[in-house]
Amino acid sequence: MIPGLPTGRIHHRSVTRARMIEHMIVHGWLFEPLEPARAAASQALDRLLALGLPQDQGRLDPVEVMNGFRAAGRAGLDTTWAEYLVPNARRLVTPGYEVGHRPDPSALPDRAYRVTLTRHFFLPISDGCRLRLPLSLDPGGQPDLSCSVPDAEIRVGAGWADFRLAATDATGIRCSARMTVPGRSQKASGGELTAVERALYTRPLEGLVRVTARVQALADRLAGRGAEPGRQVAGFLDFLDRELCQGALAHYQMSPEAPGDLVLDDGWYDCLAGSALLASLCRARSIPARLVGGYGLYSAASGAHNWIEIWLEGSGWVPFDLTSLELGQGEGGHNWRELFLGRLDHRMVVERLPRQFAGPGSLRLPSAWHLLARRSGEGVVHDLLDAVTGESVYSETIVVEPLGS
């Protein structure tokens, strides 16, 4: 077994080798010609299997595969993480800059984007079902909405559009939103926090944000005696960077009562779980924090993503994206670690919890699922699959086109 890869938990090794390679290409060889990328990803997977990556009759668990590359890299057993995964991520977030040189998000000029987000739903639809698409909270006009079911009733709210359908056995229902999104660098936003808002953003229980006794004790230990909030947050980030590893996470393994325990026990977090743990640590110290969901406005590839905003007196809401900690790994990492800590590049924000919540609508997701990416003619497609049966639930494509100069 690969050192650092968790054992003893339930896994769903239900993804074929060919489909796993397509997912790996997006994360490690996105900018390479497709056939050489497939060959390189296949060779990397073979190396990982030789190190002891588990499989069942040739089928794989994508969480184990992607974390396997990171664990093998940290143990000095394989170079795929350092030579392909991290550089691929750096290149994705540097459009318009010389590859290999860290950009400055705060220096990005404002510009607009045309964003087309499409979901294909593959499960039979029950009577009165509401299929939901996320929309920008900062729109540049009314979105153009469409559905492959002609008589669908469409309703629009803050950060979402619902397509209400009557019962149908049809599969492959397509819902789409085309919108103009203003792109602005995101940095500290000032103002005042009311007493009601402070109470809301420091409450101990909110979805994955949970201030358990374990989280409280950890926050108290990391914060340091008498440290001002900004230094406490820096201590939390140092802990995440030093003791944990960013990667993939099987959310079905999380306990609803103590979701942070999975991260702290196994040492792995994804963008959502890591942001939720950071918010929990902040709230344990009465520092207001909230989760944010949206999409990076990257033409090469974009997918659903989460980050956090923390209220710091004198600055206001300050954004932190833990992707920085992944970008800061390997060669030249010290130049990248701070990239998204305190400022962000252009994003399409669709929710700021708990007041602005997009959510999945009334679609019932399977208890265990895989989210897999693949390249296509439209860009990158994200497929949500039932991890047990392998059946498709929905596929999402987001196409980002910069407008103007």
- Whether the per-residue pLDDT at 374 is higher than 60: the answer is yes
- Continuous H helices in 183-312: 195-200, 213-223, 229-243, 260-266, 271-284
pLDDT at 196: 97
286-334 pLDDT per residue, tens: 999 999 999 999 999 999 999 999 999 999 999 999 999 999 998 877 8
Residue 140 lies in a domain: no
Which tokens belong to 282? 């902040």
**Model confidence at 178, in pLDDT bands (50, 70, 90)?**
very high
Place of tokens 């698409």: 133
Residue 30 lies in a domain: yes
Residue 239 lies in a domain: no
How many CB atoms are located within 10 Å of the residue 302 CB?
A: 24
Residue 84 lies in a domain: yes
- Return d(Cα 70, Cα 78) in angstroms, integer: 9
Structural contact between residues 81 and 93, judged by C-beta atoms closer than 8 angstroms: no
Structural contact between residues 111 and 402, judged by C-beta atoms closer than 8 angstroms: yes
**CB under 8 Å to 108, separation ≥6 — which residues?**
183, 185, 345, 346
Residue 88 lies in a domain: yes
Which tokens belong to 185? 């660098």
**Model confidence at 405, in pLDDT bands (50, 70, 90)?**
low
- Whether the per-residue pLDDT at 250 is higher than 90: the answer is yes
| Domain count across the chain | 1
27-86 pLDDT per residue, tens: 999 999 999 999 999 999 999 999 999 999 999 999 999 999 999 999 999 999 999 999
| Residue that wins the pLDDT comparison between 34 and 108 | 34
258-285 pLDDT per residue, tens: 999 999 999 999 999 999 999 999 999 9
Return the DSSP state at 372. Answer: E
E strands in 72-172 = 111-121, 129-134, 144-147, 153-157, 160-165
- Return d(Cα 175, Cα 213) in angstroms, integer: 43
Q: What is the share, in percent, of the chain residues with pLDDT greater than 90? A: 76
Name the average pLDDT for the chain. Answer: 92
Which tokens belong to 386? 């039932």
- Whether the per-residue pLDDT at 97 is higher than 50: the answer is no
Residue-range definition of the domain harbouring residue 88: 17-92
Which tokens belong to 318? 């300050």
Residue 46 lies in a domain: yes
Place of tokens 């963008």: 271
Q: How many residues does the chain have?
A: 405
pLDDT at 170: 62
Residue 361 lies in a domain: no
- Return d(Cα 179, Cα 214) in angstroms, integer: 43
179-203 pLDDT per residue, tens: 999 998 888 887 889 999 999 999 9
pLDDT at 13: 95
- Whether the per-residue pLDDT at 128 is higher than 80: the answer is no
Would you put residue 330 in left (φ > 0), alpha (ψ -120 to 50) or beta? left
Half-sphere exposure of 370 (CA within 13 A, CB side): 27
pLDDT at 270: 97
Residue 23 lies in a domain: yes
Return the DSSP state at 124. Answer: P
**Model confidence at 125, in pLDDT bands (50, 70, 90)?**
low
pLDDT at 284: 98
